[in-house]
Amino acid sequence: MLQGAKLLKHKILIGLLYGCGLRCMEARGVRLQDLDFDRKQLKVVQGKGKKDRYVPLSEHLIRGLKKYIEAEKPQEYLFNGQPLPTGAGGDFDNRYSQRGVQWAVRQVAKAAGVKKEVHTHTLRHSYATHLLEDGMDIMTLKDLLGHQNIETTMEYLHIAQLESQRIFSPLDTLFSKCSRK
């Protein structure tokens, strides 16, 4: 999907959703001040449950973010939406809308030839599953995802194809220990 994104804005959006495991509302709320390129991390402010957390930023994403910021010159929020008409009312700001984020994800998935239906949360699920498959422990993943309960994070264990979950017989283990003696 990263290669299928035509617009730099969409490439960065996909990169944050997948590369940082962000929820849609968290990606929409990223402010420039939340990006710490020196420490290679993003501060997720007031995520679900109104808690702040830090997630790592990859070198690839940092390069893309710098390029995007230089080109688009966002003022406060990383992703700006369409400016609201004067006197529109309500408590809206000029962040990228939830509908806009979801549309961008669907368009990029379609352009990349992804046949399955893809949502913003699909990228978050992929982030969690891939980290588990790469050997991350469940407690660290819980913190990165901003989950309050470990049970929520444990759901990803059922999806992940973990090397340690290889099916075997206890006789194999027993006999391998006996043959070493």
Catalytic machinery residues: 23, 48, 121, 124, 147, 156
Rg (CA), the chain: 20
Tokens for 159, please give them: 């999806």
Cα 124 to the center of its chain, rounded Å: 5
Q: How far apart are CA 7 and CA 19, in angstroms?
A: 17
CA angle 92, 22, 79 (to 5 degrees): 40
Cβ(69)–Cβ(32) below 8 Å = yes
